[in-house]
Structure 1
Amino acid sequence: MIDPIPTATRRPLSPPGWWPLAAIVAAVFMLMLDATVVTVALARMRDDLHAGLGDLQWVMNGYTLAMAAFQLTAGSLADRWGRRRSFLTGVALFTAASLACGLAPNAAVLITMRVVQGLAGALMFATTLALIAQCYTGRRRGLAFGVRGMAAGSAVVLGPVVGGALVSGPGWRWIFLVNVPAGALTLAIGAAALPRHEPARTPRRIDALGPFLLAVALTALVFTLLRGEDQGWGSARTLTTSVAALVALLLFTAVEHRRRDPMLDLSLFRDRVFTGTQVGSFTVQASIFAMLVYVSLWFQDGLHYTALKTGLCFLPLVVPILLAGPLAGAIMDRLPKGLLVSASLAVLAAAIVLMRGSTAWTDLAPGMLLAGLACGVALPTLGALAVDIPDERHLGMASGVNNTVLQIGFAVGIAAYGAVASQDTLFLIGAASALTGAAITALLMRS
């Protein structure tokens, strides 16, 4: 039996204002920007560090996989150790790792520090939804989720813009070094503004085996998708990594089911809305945001755009997210959230279909505009649903689940699209993924 949370510990004693949100949004923007800002800098990194293609892939995937594997642990740790403390520790470690990335003398050091960035990012990112739910209520909470969703979505697609400007200007190392002053400012705002008053915590043992099994499962899955085309989908190595991923996932589920204080409370998935939220979050990342990596490469390799011009071509996707995100956050409490999610995913599928057959940037622009509107509605709504749970002491866990799913969707999408032979097939798979997600979320979230 879980004791109810004392009334006095449910919320800060006075409204915290918008400074906590400023720290949260700054952290989210840095994290999501770093997921894609590297895309347009890979060629320069290869030349300067004498890196191979495999090194470049792990510069991208080391960050994403570390975030995905540690999200659940970070969320549970925040529930036990304190969300404010976890957030600030993550910001400090992320800033230090960014400095080390910017000064990396070779590919091995860069990859290692990217992994550290991912681990620190998980510690930060896993607490952001929970901190918003803790700090704000009612319409202010909806608006806060909208702003956070806007920051996350726009950072992903602004990554190539910012990266292109920095690579074309001071050099690729500045895509990491720019995080140092930004991280220091975020740390200062967070230390001053985030509430120290949190729900009562019960000391529990940290689950060490669960994160290890989850990391093995995710790494084996992504490795299978990345290497399956080259090694052959029926080869012994591909089959081995596939089986390893499945076995590790089954063992992870069994371990979490048997533990008294699990990293992941599987009972959360008894709630159909919570499960539908994870499906929707995975769909957005896998269908459109992972696709942007290959659209960026097409702009540069196929259309011979510069890094900066490539980044600017994503503005038709960014601007609608910036406009629709806060608006969706303000009105989401007045409309059925399940309907907002499934409808926005259906619109996203239509937007991706519009991008088929493109031979120039102008052909993509209408689909990008529509996709931006769909993401601007979906992202804040999914963020609000992710932490809409009865027990506030599990907000960090719920947030960690959602953030894990987001990272898995991005990593799996990148790996899956990498095995696609043609651009036309890429858009078809993306549209089919979005439409499937719309159907599943509509079924799970129906009233």
Structure 2
Amino acid sequence: MRSIGAGANLVRQHIPDSLRRAAHVIAAQASPCDELVIRSQPAGVGRPCQRKRLALAATILGSSMAFIDGSVVNVALPSIQSELGASVAAMQWVVDAYLLFLGSLVLVGGAMGDKLGRRSVFIAGIALFALASVACALAPHVGSLIAARAVQGIGAALLVPSSLAIIGAVFNGEERGRAIGTWAGIGAITSAIGPVAGGWLVDAFSWRAIFFINVPLAIATSVLAVWSVPNSRDPDASQQLDWLGAATAAAGLGAFAFGLTEAPTHGLGHPLVLGAIGAGVLVLAAFMAIEANSRNPMMPLDVFRSRDFTGANLVTLLLYFGLGGALFFLPFTLIRAHGYTATEAGAALLPVPVIIGLLSRLTGGWTSRYGPRWLLTMGPGIAGIGFGMLAVLSVRGSYWASLFPALAVLGLGMTITVAPLTATVMGSVPGERAGVASGINNAVARVASLLAVAVLGIVFVWTHHATLAARLDQLHVPQDARRSGQLLEPNAQSMAPPGAAHMPPGTPLARAEAEAIAEALRAVALVCAACAFAGAGLAAVTIRPGTYPSSAS
């Protein structure tokens, strides 16, 4: 899997702190090891690029389009749900369908770029992503939207690793360091303002606008790529693509996530739920067997023999599980329970990237000074405190007194975590395996978000229903009225009862619904905090003491 970077030359190459700081910002917004993936690309191959700045612009536009789309959708979910009459499970799949195919295909998608040509695969990914975006924008019902989102995920799995590989193929030496800084800095800005801009599009026009906006971006990206990017290949990429591994990974994760999302509706003991979860486990076990016996696996299992590498990936799984879940349910809660507009909900999340951008310069050098174990214990622990602070968010509380401090602490925890996580993943395997290691860690982070939306959906829905039932008991609402009003409708056709949008916000029923949604977020935040604290504990016992070279940090 050289497309995720088989070479380690750049790992040992110094990158100025100012560029590293920007890279950490986008790493936290997109995926924990996107910076790591770029830095582990092989040296430039193929014919020289005559229009390097335009080639860099194409990679920035393409990758930013995919990153922004993943975050903007979260603030649009309440609007999508209201217009399409979708269930909570359907809203989960609007996000999970994208993450499922991006996470399971990103490794093999990168290998396609090396084998078939990075520009060709990049443009194919852009075209597929754009066509799927149009299908999303025109979706008449939630089923077609989910299907289109799945195709978007496939397109992103082609364009994201290819865009990173193009930078490695086009730039060398100090030029590459500057290109990485530019890519990361602009990507950090677009990732930070993406939810705000997306929220504005939702408020001013429609949720469909967040998908239509991808079309002109895709056209501009394709034109730039055709004009400026050489269609480089890796001369050593002669191995067969691991399609069987990719297919079983997608099928196993999909079945497992389906069972979890159906659990709130049917119960964990329902045959459909148990069958889907069981099938997912069996298929994932088959995936592990395939990878263990394949000559060219997309995920070589031997890298997990390193205790540090295994520990770093466990920390990634737990911490980004919490982050992915919180960023999915928090905008929904702010809009439904706190009366935020979509724009305000997007802006409310800004403390996390801003704190990372301001403090990464300070914390970036700590890895080589103190070693990763201490930082990977402290960082997730602080993030866990931030998640815990979200649990005390009040429906009537001030943003600056409740939500802002929680997100600031969460941002601090992520800032402390990113650099040592990168250093540990890179330093725990031989140099020639650094690219494979970075690709695996990148995929783990995306799968963590997929699982978070599915698992925490159970926590959110069950807590919501239990809290709402208690509130309605206090209001002495008859049971038959609850059923006719579908306040506790088993299929969860809406998080709010029909007609809730027309209820005055001060009515007892509206207050009960808002309190139930806020209580559901508290439960989710507590689980996220527990996962972050567990990640801190695992780091303390799995990461060996010592330091890695500062160039890897």
TM-score in terms of structure 1 length: 0.84
> What residue in structure 1 maps to residue 319 of structure 2?
284
Most deviating of 320-329 and 89-98: 320-329
How far apart, in 2, do the equivalents of 1:11 and 1:301 lie? 49
Contact 1:132 1:144 in 2 (8 A): yes
Tell me the equivalent position of 1:431.
529
Who is 2:541 aligned against?
443
Tell me whether 103-112 or 233-242 shows the greater mean CA deviation.
103-112
Range with greater deviation from structure 2 (218-227 or 199-208)? 199-208
2:340 counterpart residue number: 305
1:384-421, CA deviations, whole angstroms, 9 ceiling, x for partnerless residues? 665666465883x5444233212211111112222222
Greater mean alpha carbon deviation, residues 90-99 or residues 375-384: 375-384
Letter of the structure 1 residue corresponding to residue 345 of structure 2: T
- Deviations for 1:288-327, whole angstroms, at most 9, x for unmatched residues? 2321221112111111122222222112223223334577
1:403 aligns with 2:435: no
Rg larger in structure: 2
1:11 to 38, 43, 66: 43
Deviation at 1:247, TM superposition (A): 0.7
Count of residue pairs brought into register by the alignment = 443
After TM superposition, give the deviation of residue 424 of structure 1 in Å. Answer: 2.9
Contact residue 150 and residue 322 of structure 1 kept, 8 A: no
Counterpart-to-counterpart distance in 2, 1:445 and 1:25: 34
Task: Determine the C-alpha separation between the residues in 2 that align with 1:154 and 1:330.
Answer: 23
Q: Distance in 2 between matches of 1:130 and 1:331?
A: 29
Contact kept, 8 Å, 2:251 with 2:283, in 1: the verdict is: yes
SS, match of residue 414 in structure 1? helix
Do structure 1's residue 249 and structure 2's residue 284 form an aligned pair? yes
Please say if 1:103 is aligned against 2:138: yes
Does residue 205 of structure 2 align to residue 176 of structure 1? no
Matches within 5 A, 1:35-434: 35-46=70-81, 48-49=83-84, 54-127=89-162, 158-191=193-226, 199-325=234-360, 336-337=371-372, 339-359=374-394, 360=397, 361-362=399-400, 363-379=402-418, 382=421, 390=430, 395=435, 397-420=436-459, 421=463, 422-434=520-532
Shift of 1:120: 0.7
Gaps of 5+ in 1: none
Alpha-carbon shift at residue 46 of structure 1 (Å): 4.4
Would the alpha carbon gap of residues 322 and 128 (structure 1) be closer, same or farther in structure 2, given more than 3 Å must change? Answer: farther
Supply the AA of the counterpart residue of 1:373: L
Whole-angstrom distance in 1 between the partners of 2:368 and 2:218: 33
1:34 aligned to which of 69, 73, 82? 69
Letter of the aligned partner of 1:358 in structure 2? L
Alignment partners' CA distance in 2, 1:385 and 1:88: 33
Q: Deviations over 1:161-195 (max 9, x none)?
A: 22210011132221011112223333445556656
Over 3 Å counting, the alpha-carbon distance change for 1:433 and 1:131 in structure 2 is farther
Q: Which secondary structure state, in structure 2, belongs to the residue aligned with residue 37 of structure 1?
A: helix
- Alpha-carbon distance change, 444 to 153 in structure 1, aligned in 2, over 3 angstroms: farther
Q: Deviations over 1:28-71 (max 9, x none)?
A: 33222212322333344345556555544432222121212212
Alpha-carbon separation, structure 2, partners of 1:267 and 1:230: 40
In the alignment, residue 248 of structure 2 is paired with which amino acid? L
What is the distance in 1 between the residues matched to 2:179 and 2:309? 20
- Render the CA deviation track for 1:308-349: whole Å, top value 9, x for unaligned: 222221122232233345776688667645554443222211
The structure-2 alpha-carbon separation of the partners of 1:110 and 1:318, relative to structure 1 and needing over 3 Å to count, comes to same
RMSD between aligned residues:
3.7
What amino acid sits opposite 1:438 in the alignment?
A
Amino acid at match of 1:425: A
Letter in structure 2 aligned against 1:69: S
Given the superposition, is the C-alpha separation of residues 145 and 181 from structure 1 closer, same or farther in structure 2, using an over 3 Å criterion? same
Q: What is the letter of the counterpart of residue 318 of structure 1?
A: P
Structure 1 position 132, deviation (Å): 5.6
Amino acid corresponding to residue 222 of structure 1 in structure 2: A
Report the 3-state secondary structure (helix = DSSP H, G, I; strand = E; otherwise coil) of the residue aligned with 1:434.
helix
Cα distance in 1, alignment partners of residues 140 and 243 from structure 2: 33
Instruction: Provide the secondary structure at the position in 1 that maps to 2:315.
Output: helix
CA distance in 2, matches of 1:405, 1:166: 31
Contact map agreement 1:164 1:307 (CA 8 A) in 2: yes
Could you tell me whether the CA contact under 8 Å between 2:132 and 2:149 is conserved in 1?
Answer: yes
TM-score by length of 2: 0.69
- The unaligned stretches of length 5 or more in structure 2 are 10-40, 464-519, 547-553
1:150 and 1:325 in contact (8 A); partners too: no
Give the Cα–Cα distance (whole angstroms) in 2 for the partners of residues 385 and 161 of structure 1: 33
- The answer to whether the Cα contact below 8 Å between 1:98 and 1:176 also exists between their aligned partners in 2 is yes
- Of 234-243 and 338-347, deviating more is 338-347
Q: Mean alpha-carbon deviation: is it higher for 296-305 or for 278-287?
A: 278-287
**More moved, 142-151 vs 169-178:** 142-151
What CA deviation, in whole Å up to 9, does each residue of 1:98-141 have, x standing for no partner? 23322344444433221111001011223455556666788887
Contact 1:142/1:330 (CA < 8 Å) preserved in 2?
no
Q: Is the CA contact (8 Å cut-off) linking 2:381 and 2:533 kept in structure 1?
A: yes
Amino acid at match of 1:439: G
